[in-house]
Structure 1
C-alpha cells in the first residue's frame, strides 16, 4: 500500500536483503556454480551498449552479491568496485572474488549506503559508473542518487543504467494488462510479501519492504540536472523474471508477452556521459 515514507525504511530494507543473501547464494536463479565455471551474469544488451571495458575502472552501485560486478572484470575492466548496503551481500561478493583469484586491486567491495558512496569507495571517480536492475526502486530520492552517481563519473566517462521499466509497476500481477496503480505516485510502497524473486516459495521472516516508483522522465531529468549528457535511452520488450503470469520465457532466458499481445516496455537502459572540460 502507498504511505508516507516510514522512519525505519532503510533498516527494514536492509534486514530484508540481509536475510535473502543465503537464499540467493543457494538458488538456481543465481547458479553460483555455473558462474564460478565462467557463466556471464550480464545481459547481452548491456554488454553491447556499454562497449569495450578493457583497461577501464568501473564502479557498480548497489551490487548485491557481485555477480555483475565480477562479470565486468572478466570482460577486461582494469578494476571493479562494488558497493552495497548489505554486509552479508558484500562478504559473499568478496568470497566470490577470492574464488576467482581476483585480489582487491582487481575487484574490491565496500559496505555503504549508496548515498554515501563518494566517501566510501576507494577512488574519487571512475571511467564507468554502472547500476544494474532492481536498484532505483529502493531509493526515496532520485535527485540525490543522480547527483551522487554523477559525482563519481570521471570526465570523459559515463554512467550506464539498466533497470526494470516503471510502467510495469502500474499493471496487475496476473496478466500485466490492467492499470491498477498510479504511474506518478511519489509515496512509498510498503509491502509484506514473503519469499524472493530467486525463490518465490522460500520461507522468510523479514518480509517488510519499502520501495518507490521513479518514472523514466524523472530519472533522465535528474541525471541531466546533475551535469551528465544523455547519450541514449533504450526501451526493451523483455524482462529477467516472470513479473506477470502471462509472460513466456524465450530461448534467450528472458521473459516476454505472447506474440499475439501488444508489446510494452518491460526494461529500459540509458547511457549518460560527463563531458571533458574542453567539451562542456
Structure 2
C-alpha cells in the first residue's frame, strides 16, 4: 500500500536485504555454482548495448552480491568497482572476486548508501557507470541519484541503466492485465511481505520494505538535468522472473503468452557525458 515515507526507510530496507543475501546465494535464481564455473550473469541485451568494455573502468551502483559486476570484469573491464548498502552482500562480492583471482586494483567492493557514492568510491570518475535491474525502486529521490551517478561518469563516458519497466508496478500480480495502481503516485509503497523474486522456504524476520515507483519520464528528465545526453531509451517485452502469474518462459526469458498483446516489462537506456 502507499503511505507517507517512514523515517526508518533506509534501515528497514537494509535489514531486509542483509537477511536475504544467504537466501539468494543458495537459490536456483542466482545459480552461484554456474557463475563460479564461468556462466555470465549479464543479459544478452545489456552486453550488446554496453558494447566492448575491454580496458575500461566500470562502477556498478547497487551491485548486490557482485555477480553482474564481476561478469563485466570477465568481459575485459580493466577495473570494476561495486557499491551496495548491504555489508553481507559486499562481503559476498569480495569473496567472489577473490575466488576469481582478481586483485583489489581489478575489483573493489564498497559498502555504502548509493547517495554517498561520490564520497566513498576509490576513483573520482569511470568510463562506465552501470546500474543493474531492480535498483531504482529502493530510492526516494531520483534527481539526487541522477546527479550522483552523472558526477561519477568520466568525460566521454556513459551511464547505462537496465530496469524493470514502471508499468509493471501498476498491473495486477495474477494476470498483469488489469490496472490496479496509480502510475504517477509518488508516495512510498510500504509492504509487509516475506515473498520476493527468489523462491525460498526459509523463514524470514525482516519482511517489511519501503519502495517507490519512478515513471520513465522522471528518470530520463533527471539524467538530462544532471548534464547527461540521452543516447537511447529502449523497451523490452521480457523480464527476469515471474512477476505475473501469466508469464511463461519463452526464448530464455519470462514473457506474456504469444496470444496476448505485448507490453513493456523492462527498459534500458544509455546517457553520455560529452
TM-score by length of 2: 0.99
Residue in structure 1 matched with residue 89 of structure 2 by the alignment: 89
| Matches of 1:223 and 1:274, distance apart in 2 | 10
What residue number does 1:278 align with? Answer: none
Match of 2:247 in 1: 247
Alignment of 1:102-121 (within 5 A): 102-121=102-121
* Residue 28, structure 1, aligned to residue 28, structure 2: yes
Is contact 1:84-1:90 (8 Å) kept?
yes
Q: Secondary structure at the match of 1:154?
A: strand
Matched pairs, number? 274
Native 8 Å contact 2:9 2:210 kept in 1? yes
| Cα shift at 1:200 | 4.7
Q: What is residue 273 of structure 1 aligned with on the other side? A: 272
Q: In the TM superposition, what whole-angstrom CA distance separates every residue of 1:159-206 from its partner, at most 9, and x where no partner exists?
A: 000000000000000000000000000000000110331125432110
Moved more, 243-252 or 185-194: 243-252
Q: What is the 5 A alignment of 1:1-280?
A: 1-252=1-252, 254-275=253-274
Give the secondary-structure state (helix, strand or coil) at the position aligned to 1:220.
helix
More displaced, 56-65 or 197-206? 197-206
Name the SS for the 1:33 alignment partner: helix
Following the alignment from structure 2 to structure 1, what is the Cα–Cα distance between the partners of residues 200 and 87? 23
CA distance in 1, matches of 2:263, 2:187: 24
Shift of 1:93: 0.2
For the residue of structure 2 that corresponds to 1:210, the secondary structure is: strand
Please tell me whether the aligned partners of residues 27 and 200 of structure 2 are also in contact (alpha carbons under 8 angstroms). Answer: no
Task: Kindly indicate whether the alpha-carbon contact (under 8 Å) linking 2:231 and 2:269 is maintained by their aligned counterparts in 1.
Answer: yes
Distance 1:159 1:79 in 2: 16
Bigger mean CA offset, 194-203 vs 237-246 = 194-203
Q: Is the 8 A contact 2:65 2:89 kept in 1?
A: yes
- d(CA) in 2 for partners of 1:199 and 1:51? 32
Q: After TM superposition, what 4+ stretches of structure 1 lie above 6 angstroms from structure 2?
A: none
Q: Is the 8 A contact 1:195 1:204 kept in 2?
A: no
Question: How big is each residue's C-alpha offset from its partner over 1:52-73, in whole Å with a ceiling of 9 and x where there is no partner?
Answer: 0000000000000000000000
Aligned partner of residue 190 in structure 1, secondary structure: strand
Secondary structure at the aligned position of 1:130 is classed as strand
Q: Where does structure 1 lack aligned partners over 5 or more consecutive residues?
A: 276-280
Unaligned runs of 5+ in 2: none
Distance, in Å, in 2 between the alignment partners of 1:201 and 1:249 is 23
Contact 2:127 2:156 in 1 (8 A): yes
Alpha-carbon separation, structure 1, partners of 2:136 and 2:202: 24
Contact 1:196 1:202 in 2 (8 A): no
What RMSD in Å do the two structures reach over aligned CA positions? 0.7
SS at 2:230 equivalent? strand
Distance 2:102 2:196 in 1: 29
Cα offset, 1:237, TM superposition = 0.1
- Cα distance in 2, alignment partners of residues 200 and 34 from structure 1: 19
3-state SS of 1:213 partner: coil
Question: CA offsets per residue over residues 6-29 of structure 1, 9 Å max, x none?
Answer: 000000000000000000011111
